Structure 1
C-alpha cells in the first residue's frame, strides 16, 4: 500500500484532485531513494523539510524592498514567502490541485536571494561575471540540493522531483526544444544538477508551480504598495491615478467616505489581492476548459502557462508594475540605500576572494589551493546565505568604514 492510499484510508491529509493535478502517489521520487512516510505525502514532507531548514529561518532577516532595520513592520523575504504560500494554497484549492506541493514551492522559491534583495543579487552577479554569474533561482536549487546539510545520508534536503522542478521552472521553461536557453544561457548550477537528475527544462512546470508563480506576483504587487504607503514614499493620492488600485480606492471611498487613510490603505491591499486571485481562478478555469488536459503530463506539454491573469488584468498588472518601478523601487531614497548595499556586497566578495582565511571555519578550508572558479562559487555561496544584519556585521569587522543603510 502506498502512502497516498494509506492517507485516504485513515482520512488524513487527503483531498480529491482534478485529473490534471500532480498526484503525490505517482511522484517521480527523490535523487536519493527514501522509504515513504505512512502519514505524509511526499509533498507534505517536502514542505516540512523546507520550513525546518536553516535557509528558511534566514529569510527573516533578508530584504524584500526595504532594509530590515528600517522598520519592524516592513516585509522581509520570510513574511513575503508565507504570504505567497497562502495565496498559492488558495489558488491550488480552487483549481483542485495539490495544495501541499503549491505551498512547498511557494515557501522555497526565494531561498537563493542574497542579503539586500535584488541589489545584492545584482552586485554578486557582477562579482561572479567571470565565473558564470549569479542567479537567485539557481542558488535556491544549490541550497536545497547541496548546501543545506541536515541529513546523515545526503547533502541538501533531498526534495521530490516535482518540488525541484517547480522551484526551477515556476516562471516557465528555461530551454527550447533544441536545448537553447530561452532568456540567455541557463545558469551552470542548474545544468550541473540536471545532468544528474533531469528536470526537463524545455517543458512547462506542473499546475501547482504555476499557482506559486502567480501567487508571488499577486503578493508583492499588493504588499509593496502597503510597505510603500507605510514608508511615505507612496500616497493614496498617487495610487488613485493608477488603473487597478485607483478603481479599488474609488469603490472604497464611495462606501466609506470618512474612512481614515490607514484603513483605506489596508482596504486597498486586501481588495486588490482578492480581485487578482479571483481573476486568476476564472481565467485559469477557462483555459483548462479549452485545453481539457487529461492528466498532469498534458499540463507540462500545453505549450503555455495555464494559471495566469486574464488579458485585462495582465494589462492592469503591467501598469501597476511600471508605477511601482518609477515611484518606489527607483525612488531616490531607495536607490541611495541600494548603492551602499551594493558596495557592502562587493567589498565582502573581494575580501573573501583575496583572503579566504577571513571566512569562518567550515567555509575557508581548502580554498587556499582551489582554482579561482571553485573559490569564487564558494565565496558566492557564503555571501548569498548571509542575512542583511550579518553582512553589515561582517563588513564592520573587515573594514574601517561601513556605509549607512538608513
Structure 2
C-alpha cells in the first residue's frame, strides 16, 4: 500500500510555491510529481493547499532522560518536536548517567527505540561525566551509535584536553561539537554583561567568555584537521572569529538559536527566569551580527537548544533559575513571522536552515525532498495564525519567553519515515499518532 499526498505545494529553488503530489511507499518517497494515479488500497492525504517541506532537523536538543524526567522525557520531548515539524533530532549528553560509555549509550538508544515518536540520534560526551578530565573511548562510542561528541553545557577548559579530543575525533572522522565558555570569565553571571545587567544589578556574563574559547578551538581544529562545530553562537566577536576561520580554510561550522535571532538583553524588563539562557541574550549589535552571519554563510543553520525545566525551577528568578528555554513548538512559527513575513529572509532560506543545511554539515541522509529518501515531511499552513500558549505545549517544559506572542505559519502535519506522527485537527485541536 502507498500513501499519496495530494493538493500539496512545494517550494522551488527560487522561492516559488508550485503544486505537487508525493507518493510514499515503505517509509520512502517513491516519487514527487504533478499527479499519481491511486489504487483503492492507497491512503490519500489531502494537504489542502499547504506547503510540504522536508522534515525539520534539530541537532541541539535536551531530552533530559535519563535522570531529568521531571523536566522532559524522550517520549514527551519527541512528541513536542513532532508538533513543531521536526522528524530528526540529536540529543545532548548532559543526562544522569552521562552517555560516556557503551552501556549507557546503548540503554539510551534502547529507550529511544521504545518511546520516541521521531528519529533521535544521541551524542556521546567528550569527557567522562562531563567533568573535562578523562577523555571517553570515542571509537567504542562511535561504534555503539554516537552521533558526535560534545560536553554541551560546559566548555572544555584546557587547550591540551581539547587538542587530544580533536585528535581522536579526527582519526574517527567524527565532529567535536562545543559549548564555548571560559569558566574563568563567567564570574557567576546570569545575564549578558551590558545595559540590562547594570540596570537590574545582576552579575553579567561577558561576550569574551564565549569568543575567546572559539578562537582557541579553531586553531586547534586547524592543527588536527577535526570538524569543529560551535553551538549557539551569541556574540559579534564569535561571528568574526568563525568567519575568519572559514576564510582560512579551517573546518568549522556553527549554529544559532531562534531566541538569539529574535531577542536581546533589552527584552529582559522583569525578574523573569524564562529569559535566562546560556549563552544569554546579548546586545542589539550582537543580534544584528548573528543575522548577518547567518545570511552570509558564516553561521550554517538554526538549532533550538530546546532545554526544558520545571515551572518551579524557572519561578526562582534570574539569579537562581537554571539556564534554558524550550523551542520545539515555537521555532518555525516565530522565525516565519518575524523574519520571513518582514522580508528579512526568504521562506526558502528558513526551510534550508532547518533542514538541508544541518543535514549537509553532519552528513545526514535527511532534510531533502527527493525520490528514494526517507519520507520525512512537514506540512505547513503558512496562513494559520495563533497565539503561543505554553499551557498547550506537548513538552513538559513550559519555560518560554514567547508566551502570548502571535505567530503566523504553523506545522499542521508531520510525517516521519512515512508515518503520521502529528496532525492538527480541523477544530484546532492537536493530536499525535503512535
* Superposed pair shares fold, TM > 0.5: no
Choose between structure 1 and 2: higher strand proportion. Answer: 2
Which is greater in Rg?
A: 1
Using structure 2 for the length normalisation, give the TM-score. Answer: 0.25
